[in-house]
Amino acid sequence: MRDELCDFVIVGAGSAGCVLASRLSERGARVVLLEAGPRDSNPLIHMPGGLARLAHFTSINWNYETEPEPALDMRRLYWPRGRVLGGCSSINAMCYTRGAAADYDEWVALGATGWSYADVLPYFRLSERQARGPSPYHGADGPLSVEDLRYRNPLSSLFVDAAVEAGFPRTADFNGPDPDGFGFYQVTQLRGRRSSAATAYLHPVRPRRNLDVRTGCHAVRIAFEGDRAVGVVVATRGTERVVRADVEVILAAGAIGSPHLLLLSGVGPAADIEAHGIRVHADLPGVGQNLQDHLDFTTLQECRRPVTYDFGLLEEVAVALRYLLTRSGPGVTNAAEAGGFARSRFASDARPDLQFHFVPAQIDDHGRQRRAGHGYTLHACHLRPRSRGRITLRSARSQDPPRIFAGYGSDPYDIGVLVEGVQRSRQILNATPFDGWRGREVYPGDSVRTESDIEAAIRRRAQTLYHPVGTCRMGTDALAVTDPHLRVHGIRGLRVADASIMPRLIGGNTNAPTIMIAERAARLIADEHDGAVRSGSEAR
């Protein structure tokens, strides 16, 4: 194996990794960014409406599956995660939400000193290029473009009107002082084109001589000298080599990839690691624990009029041509155009504990199955699950995916909240604005009426909303993996900076918070290593 040297090796070119690579190289550091997947050259990534077809491209997706879930009829759930430059920000639905301010204050109460809402808001603003202009809650000069959708299906407006008629407030900004209410999602797009972490942060700075972006590089394990991480062993086309880090190794491989690489490298629960014949470098029992995700149920309704995005092949071609020629029409949609946040009767404080995403199309099996006819879908998810899961090793081979025990419904409270989410979904879809449009309810179906019926339907059909976090959580207790500066406990030169460090799942989509985490991590690193990293611009 041949050694190569730089200041920072970053594992994972997803939402966090692209931010870190851009910010650290901006300040003069020599950075190598490693990505297992390919470049983001697939045109469907950049046309927002291509989202529906991305599920069929396994080359840009890790295609994980959970272990059989006991509370969900022993089903294995499909967990798509981005395996491409930009990571999940290259394949997600582009909804820009941050959760509630109290979510971050709760992190502090759990031991994450310095991560209160007042602490993190400047980094949300630093990252954001808000098309509506700057405000106390929004920035307008950052790399990540956030704008209103340029095209909306008429059913999305009906949905918002129906939610208001059902008694919920209307809101124009889910990221202001209070996320409660229903309205249209803002999206991470720039003039109708996806604004991923790769297009926003990475591509504009690729010419930098101190930034080396490598795709098709699979991280095998972290290289150690004593109690210090000194690099990453990388496999490329069957050949292994060590990329050495003179300053730090930074894991940004996400809530699945980061704990998996730690475990493969001998960092985690000692007994579990030794069971696979791996030498223990640090006995950290919290690695892979504390897994949390938003469990989601979709209510699917047939539509009497052919206005939805349930297109045939010729219609898809026409949509794509219109988009290429004019950057307009259904090609700019993110599918989940409208939605909202609400409090269930179970909510323990003022924060919403239910989130809704309305899609003017029939969504079945993550879009992998196509249904005949026209319809619309309403997603409901429980934002504050009490259930916890874990990530463990399947084997000592880095090519083998980890075992994912999501733990959905291990606390029955979560299922009860989601039952109410389904009831609220029906309430909205049965409001008068949908009269004349509403057809047969496909799921859960007219025969599902009682709470026990709905609970059984959830166990049969609920799926992930793609928001796993928490498996390398920050804190100071015995189960914390990183400290509040995101340094791995007990190991020098090793940091984790991605969604895995969240102590608790925030109340919303997780892409914007992950980018915020990376922005703040870059500043923490700059402050700590001012000899290797020039001082950058202050968070505004």
CB atoms within 10 A of CB 136: 8
Helix, coil or strand: residue 9 = strand
User: 537: pLDDT confidence band, cut at 50, 70 and 90?
Assistant: very low
CATH fold, domain 1-147+187-283+390-401+468-534, is FAD/NAD(P)-binding domain (3.50.50)
pLDDT confidence of residue 76: 98
CB contact set of 105 (below 8 Å; sequence gap of 6+): 116, 117
Q: Of 501, 499, 505, 504, whose CA–CA distance to 482 is shortest?
A: 501
Q: Could you tell me if 11 and 245 are in contact, meaning their C-beta atoms sit under 8 angstroms apart?
A: no
Could you tell me how far CA 464 lies from the centroid of its own chain?
11
CA atoms within 13 A on the CB side of 409: 25
The answer to whether the CB of 32 falls within 8 A of the CB of 10 is: yes
* Active-site residue (options: 467, 485, 489, 529): 467
Q: Could you write out the DSSP letters of every residue in 106-133?
A: HHHHTT-TT-SHHHHHHHHHHHEEETT-
Q: What is the DSSP string of 309-374?
A: S---HHHHHHHHHHHHHHS-GGGG--S--EEEEE--TT-SSSS--EEEEEESS--BGGGTBPPSS-
If one counts every other C-beta atom within 10 angstroms of the C-beta of residue 42, the result is 18
Check if the beta carbon of residue 320 is closer than 8 Å to that of residue 407: no
Split at pLDDT 50, 70, 90, the class of 539 is very low
The burial class, CB within 10 Å (0-12 / 13-18 / 19+), for 478 is: exposed
Separation CA 201–CA 524 (nearest Å): 18
Q: What is the pLDDT of residues 332-381, one digit of tens each?
A: 999 999 999 999 999 999 999 999 999 999 988 887 878 889 999 999 99
In sequence order, what are the beta bridge partners of 355?
A: 341, 381
The secondary structure of residue 48, as a DSSP letter, is: G
Does residue 467 carry a catalytic annotation? yes
User: What is the model's pLDDT at position 365?
Assistant: 83
pLDDT at 536: 38
Residues with Cβ within 8 Å of residue 332, at least 6 apart in sequence: 47, 48, 49, 149, 150, 151, 189, 192, 323
Q: Answer yes or no: are the C-beta atoms of 56 and 80 closer than 8 Å.
A: no
Q: Could you tell me the pLDDT band of residue 535, with boundaries at 50, 70 and 90?
A: very low
pTM for the complete prediction?
0.96
Q: Which CATH number applies to 150-184+295-384+409-461?
A: 3.30.410.40
Integer Cα distance of 480 and 261 in angstroms = 17
For residue 203, pLDDT beyond 50: yes
Cα separation, 320 vs 332, in Å, equals 10
Do residues 79 and 91 make contact, with C-beta atoms less than 8 angstroms apart? no
Closest CA to 194 of 323, 369, 360: 323
pLDDT of residue 238: 82
> Residue 242: which H helix or E strand, with range?
strand 239-251
Task: Specify the amino acid at residue 32.
Answer: V
Is the pLDDT at 295 greater than 50? The verdict is yes
- Mean pLDDT score of the chain, rounded to an integer? 95
Per-domain boundaries in the chain: 1-147+187-283+390-401+468-534, 150-184+295-384+409-461
**What 3-state class would DSSP assign to 217?**
coil
Residue 1 pLDDT greater than 60, yes or no? no
- Name which residue leads in pLDDT, 2 or 323: 323
Map tokens 């223990």 to a residue. Answer: 280
* Token pair listed for 129: 């290029």
pLDDT attached to residue 534:
59
Confidence at residue 540, expressed as pLDDT on a 0 to 100 scale: 33
